[in-house]
Amino acid sequence: MAPPLLTLDGVVLTFGGTPLLDGAELSASTGDRIALVGRNGSGKSTLLKIAAGLVEPQEGKVFRHPSATIRYLPQLPDMDGYATVRTYVEAGLGPADDPHRATYLLDHLGLTGEEKPEELSGGEARRAALARVMAPEPDILLLDEPTNHLDLAVIEWLEDELNRSSSALVVISHDRRFLERVSRATVWLDRGTTRRLDKGFSHFEEWRDTILEEEEREQHKLGRQIVREEHWLRYGVTARRKRNMRRLGDLQSMRQKFRTHRGAEGAAAMAASDAAESGKLVVEAKSISKSFGEVTVVKDFSTRIQRGDRIGLVGPNGAGKTTLLKMLTGELAPDTGTVRLGVNLKIATLDQKRAAVDPNETLAHFLTDGRGETLVVNGEERHVVAYMKDFLFKPEAARTPVRDLSGGERARLILARVLARPANLLVLDEPTNDLDMETLELLQELVAGFAGTVLLVSHDRDFLDRTVTSVIAPDDGGRWTEYAGGYSDMLAQRGGTKLSDRKLSKSQAEQPARLGDPTQPKAPTRKLSYKQKFALESLPGKMDAVSASISKLENQLADPTFYEKNPASFAKTIAALDKERQTLAGMEEEWLELEMLREQLEG
């Protein structure tokens, strides 16, 4: 085994109260590929800063090989004082390093080097920071969330580049697929201490669960033993006093161990607030297009989204994912084409920029919109502190301002607010950013089990594979194609072509989405009958009228005194509401069948 280039042994660091790091260890040798994992706030970034020499531990030993070069990628790179991106990147090179390596990285990361640091987007700043730390080809790369703000094409390229690199790697990331691809060992930071598994991240979750189950059994055994010893202390024979005093001392030690045991952190308890069921048709887009100046981001795109669908939108930054999402939800009008939204939609939106957060607002005020100490979740009134606990916030955090939260805590807070709103359509733009593994797993279960409809923009391939029923991805010239299944299914249908393989052949770019084999002879052209055409044109107006009737009946039933005033009328109203809902469902089904027939006949 190669001698270690970096060793952290028995590291202790406390910021008041419970130690953040309590005997943590980390070792990296040539060829190591280590995933450093743990919950948000567990101290992963701090441990990485100690390894980089940016933070000094209060106790413990830190060894860095004198000849080893180390480069550290922070979550928020500091580019102050640099005129251009190129000067920032080249400042990371040593005297013996190849300057052409910086040019190579800038080119592959989509940067010219002439950009001004103060004008960079979050994704561009992350790519510039990656070029700076990777250009010297150091002995050790310490990467803190390298995939944040990167699109899928760049993430796929980065995986390949790191796997070709000779640098030892220690990486923190919330992207499970990325960790699976680049890691060969896993270090778990949990309750201040570390455990190492000499296998990649794909084996981590099973290993972690086994450890926690064994720990729970051991703690249970210790509790039972304490009960037995206490029974002996009260009722046992008092002879041989010296032996009894030793046994009493052992009991006190067991009690101390039981009291001071730091149990595993509680799990988040996410649940979306359900609204009344939407209509069967949620969104129908016909030949929609959108351009900004001379750039066409969406061209002639059509889709039909039905209740229960979970649609993932993927693609490089700037491809138009958020634009397409806004058009599908009616927030942005297309230049050409039409978008029709279904009836009875209640939309809850998680914005990518998290723009709705006032940094000076307290957590409790943010969750309740300043309406006191309670909020209504799924029709049940709950105290804000109890609801915060579901998302792993401590009671004393209720008066904490949002500006004091970490990135992961802020993401959890915004999710808590979005999920408290009654909704049957969830619109999630990059919901996985900054979330730890456990919270990601719960969000994944929530999205996969949501009774309504989900529109999701994400660069997390594993999350997409586990949640969505279809994926919409871009081709050249603003064209978008919808594929059945998750991200891996999309790759298979594209013949294994990754999004990082951006350039398509002309024949690929010109293929319309989801058409049959063009070599087959076309079927004879037919038309809708007059009756079918009349029904197709008149049904939308009838559905709107029935929807208005349903809303009126629902408003009547919302009166809490209605039943007391007139029980018979209350019962009739409920019956009428059920009938109207059945009528609407039948109309939607008929319209959907006719519309599909029309599209089939028109080719």
196: three-class secondary structure by DSSP: strand
Tokens of 560: 């809490």
Cα–Cα distance between 110 and 90 in angstroms, integer?
16
**The tokens 């006949």 sit on which residue?**
601
Query: 3-state class of 348 per DSSP?
Result: strand
Nearest to 329 by CA among 309, 348, 353: 348
Is residue 415 packed enough to be buried (19+ CB in 10 Å), middle (13-18) or exposed (0-12)?
Answer: buried
Q: Give CA–CA dist 569/396, Å, rounded.
A: 49
Give CA–CA dist 460/147, Å, rounded. 10
Distance CA 190, CA 263 (A): 10
Tokens 């058009």 map to which residue? Answer: 327
Apex 173 CA angle, 131 and 149, nearest 5 = 55
Question: Cβ distance 294 to 473 under 8 Å?
Answer: no
Closest CA to 321 of 508, 149, 478, 513: 478
From the list 424, 443, 425, 423, the residue with the least C-alpha distance to 433 is: 443
Which CATH superfamily hosts domain 4-206? P-loop containing nucleotide triphosphate hydrolases (3.40.50.300)
11 within 8 A of 63, measured Cβ to Cβ: no
Q: What pLDDT score does 22 carry?
A: 92
pLDDT of residue 202: 92
* Domain 281-503: assigned CATH number: 3.40.50.300
DSSP string, 188-200: EEETTEEEEESS-
For 118-148, write each residue's pLDDT tens digit: 988 888 999 999 999 999 999 999 999 999 8
Could you report the per-residue pLDDT of 265-301, keeping only the tens digit for each?
A: 555 555 555 556 778 899 999 999 999 888 899 999 9
DSSP type of residue 423: B
Q: H-helix or E-strand containing 428?
A: strand 425-429
Burial 319-352 (b: 16+ CB within 10 A, else e): bbbbbbbbbbbeeeebeebebebbbbbbbbbbeb
Among candidate residues 337, 320, 319, the one with its CA nearest the CA of residue 283:
337
- Given the structure tokens 């010219």, which residue do they identify? 112
Q: Given the DSSP bridges, would you call strands 21-29 and 470-474 parallel, antiparallel or unpaired?
A: unpaired
What is the C-alpha to C-alpha distance for residues 467 and 445, in angstroms, rounded to an integer? 8
Whether 522 shows a pLDDT value over 70: the answer reads no
Average pLDDT, the chain: 82
Q: Which CATH architecture has domain 530-602?
A: Orthogonal Bundle (1.10)
Using the predicted structure, report yes or no on whether residue 513 has a pLDDT greater than 60: no
What per-residue confidence (pLDDT) applies to 72?
A: 97
Q: pLDDT digits over 316-375, tens only?
A: 877 889 899 999 999 999 999 999 998 888 888 876 555 557 888 898 988 888 888 888
Whether residue 518 is predicted with pLDDT greater than 60 in this model: the reply is no
Question: What pLDDT score does 582 carry?
Answer: 80
